[in-house]
Chains A and B, each alone.
Chain A
Amino acid sequence: MTVEPRAFVLAGARSEDAIRDALGQAYTVSEEHAAAGSGARRRTWLDTFDWRLFGAGLVLEHEQTRRGGRLVLASADGSPLAEQPVTGWRSGPVAQLPGGPVADRIAALIAPRALLAAASVASTRSVFRLLNADGKTVARIVADRSSAGATELDIRLQVSEVRGYSAQARRAAGLLAAVASPAMGHVFAAAAASGRSPGGYSGKVDARITADMPAQAAVVLLLRNLLDTLEQNVDGVLRDIDTEFLHDLRVAVRRTRSALKLLGDVLPADLTMHYQSEFKWLGDLTTPVRDLDVYLLGWGDLTAGLLAATADDLEPFREFLVRQRAREFRLLTAGLGSVRFRALTHDWGKALAELSEPVPRRGRKTKAAGARNPAAAGPASVAARVPARALLPAGALATERTARAVRQLTRRGAAITAQSPAVSLHDLRKRGKELRYLLEFFAPIYDQTAYRTVLSDMKKLQDCLGEFQDSQVQREEITTLARQLLADSAGPAGRGDAGRAGGGDQAALAATLLAMGEINARLAVLQQQARADFDDRFARFAGPVTQRHIQALLNRGEQ
């Protein structure tokens, strides 16, 4: 029985020679022929698209041998944490992963993401025993010789502890550590050979802006980073790998729209205007599927809180949502495959590339402005149309726009009373998001402690507004969906989804609608709670402590 092994990699050498060289003085090394776990296997390193396991210091491998498959979860230093057998599962959404110790360990960390193959190697495994003076096996070394395609990788050596002999495993690991490097490098090499870079994707804004770079250069850098994120997610959306691809794509679109709105005046005006409208189209294109995803992802919570109805009553509603999603998804893929979308990403990328050329000292507007597609007008025209404020230092722009966003949020929030309509809270939430995005855009300029303090101050207000608005949207949607469900079931049989609730199914339909009503009522309660919390949350945000934090942030941004 093995616990707490450690893993290393050794370059080049034959595994047996390497082990004997490192450990031969302390132990008799004997190969365990036909040992359990030896022989050929395919090892596939799994992680989410955004490297959540890697980020948490975990390495998940799927091992496939002729006898079957298993998942092995290890820490970064190679110590196994959990394992479970799997049959017929290679990769995919964690929700489809059969239950077991590995699934239990990682589900919360990666849901709702899917596990994807980050690297795959063909391995031959040999097992060596380390014997003491009595000839007793006191530890084992598991050696993997692997290749990724034509690339031969370093040999991975894993110290496997024999129960009751932990000191010997530590000693063997210590001896190996003197001649080998930690095994995490093995995973890097496997990924590199498969053309992947661990940690290479993150949905976070990552534009290396500095305070003294020209404002336009900073905004272009930021927009390029957001376009990269958007483009990286398109394939995952089209293949419907998991719902986070669409989520990340939408966030990139929202951030782009906010950047164009709040900072777009450092770009040629016609360009900003054109892409504001194009990115609005893209945002709208993605909304229906995302809204349905939110319902389906939160299904467990939605049904868990039912009092009068049961989860079974809602099943027709869930099936309806799944059908709706399939329909909407077809429209989404058509949109993402359209000429308009391809032109949007291509031309936008091209325009940003042209703008990242050195800005002329004296920018001026030209008559080219106002063309239907300004990006297609050519580099000379784009670069020539830059406004004068493009040359402001980015630090000054950041401070000015952040301060303005704070003022707006504070003013509009203060104007909200008990009688204000829901839309005014929605509007406030949007202003809050804009402020948050601005902070994220210019994060590299700010003092990190001050930045994190302000974000954390804002979070409670934003959560409250989010709860309020999400409940509002879901209530409106559930009303619309109830009408659609009713219309679908009342239609003549044989047409699409129609006729599903004909005759004896009337009772089932009534139960479903009642259950939806219960959900609607619960959403109303949540919304009321959020509304009741708002005054206090806003007062804190507008209060002296948060404002002092914001001032400290802005002062440092200017430095």
Chain B
Amino acid sequence: MKVYATYNIKGGVGKTTAAVNLAYLSAADGQRTLLWDLDPQGAASFLFRVKPRVKGGGKALIRGTKALDEAIKGTDFENLDLLPADFTYRNLDLLLDESARKPTERLARLIRPLAAEYDVLFLDCPPSISLLSENVMHAADVLVVPLIPTILSVRTLDQLTEFVAGFSGRRPRVLAFFSMVDRRKRLHQEITKSLAAEQPLVSPTAIPALSLIERMAVERAPVTAFAPRSQAARAYRELWSQLS
């Protein structure tokens, strides 16, 4: 099972739209795919029309008193399941800290049994730097990092790669991509162009800021599903081909 995590310390940068579309594309490729909506805001759950509720909440999942697979819901798409968000996920940091030894690797241990059922797991993380994000980094094979094309957000990528480099043992691969790129803004264009060329960790594929992507919240479906021939869907497909 290959584990992808969409992560950024900042919010509103396109993590959930990336997770939802990339997970859909993975499933459409015929891979059994699970998306875990770890964000208590439940945006990914909303986009798949699944109620953001898990029986027993995050506590039951983290403590292992309720098997993850009981909480999983089928989406409307073949090969794609969702582990919904729950408002109690806001306390996941505390729950992880309470749990046994090596609290930074609890999540990695927890998801291990899912490998029997899934080829690909996406973790859609809430924006923060916390014990949960550290758990996610330990559990993931690939950290997918959406970046707004600004100097400051690019700095956070450097901080993240340094942080990951400090891990002993297994480290996730980091792949960043520019997200919400406004082609009318010169700065966006310049940064996208120069950094994609300079930074080997930054994908040459950028996801443009398009109203069609915002429309996902109205359609409550991945743009790759409801507008598969759109520019947005093309961009996500290109990004997915680099990731997979």
Contacts and interface: CB of A to CB of B under 8 A. Distances in A.
B98 interface: no
Interface in B128-161: none
Contacts of A135: 49, 220
Interface in A157-172: 162-165
B76 A1 contact: no
A135 B74 CA distance: 14
Contacts of B48: 136
Nearest to A139: B74
Interface in A110-147: 129, 134-137
Given A1-B81, A135-B220, A162 B74 contact: yes
Q: Chain B contact residues: over half helix, strand or loop, or mixed?
A: loop
Contacts of A137: 74, 76
Given A1-B81, A163-B81, A134 B74 contact: no
A164 B76 contact: no
B50 interface: yes
A36 interface: yes
B72 interface: yes
A163 B49 contact: no
Given A162-B74, A164-B72, A164-B73, A136 B50 contact: yes
Nearest to B50: A136
A78 B72 CA distance: 24
B71 to A, nearest CB: 8
A1 B49 contact: no
A27 to B, nearest CB: 14
Contacts, number: 28
B97 interface: no
B214 interface: no
Contact of A1 (B50, B71, B74): B74
Contact of A165 (B71, B74, B78, B220): B74
Interface string B44-80: 0000111100000000000000000001111010100
Contacts of A134: 49, 51, 220
Size class of the contact patch on chain A: 10 to 19
Contacts of B51: 134
Interface string A496-527: 00000000000000000000000000000000
A163 B78 CA distance: 11
A136 B76 contact: yes
B81 A165 contact: no
B213 to A, nearest CB: 20
B216 to A, nearest CB: 14
A163 B220 contact: no
B230 to A, nearest CB: 19
Contacts of A165: 73-74
Contacts of B76: 129, 136-137
A33 to B, nearest CB: 14
A510 B126 CA distance: 74
A134 B74 CA distance: 14
A134 B51 CA distance: 9
A172 to B, nearest CB: 14
Contact of A136 (B49, B71, B78, B81): B49
6 interchain residue pairs of minimum CB distance: A164-B73, A163-B74, A136-B49, A162-B74, A137-B76, A134-B49
Interface of B: 48-51, 71-74, 76, 78, 81, 220
26 contacts: A1-B74, A36-B78, A129-B76, A134-B49, A134-B51, A134-B220, A135-B49, A135-B220, A136-B48, A136-B49, A136-B50, A136-B76, A137-B74, A162-B73, A162-B74, A163-B72, A163-B73, A163-B74, A163-B81, A164-B71, A164-B72, A164-B73, A164-B74, A164-B81, A165-B73, A165-B74
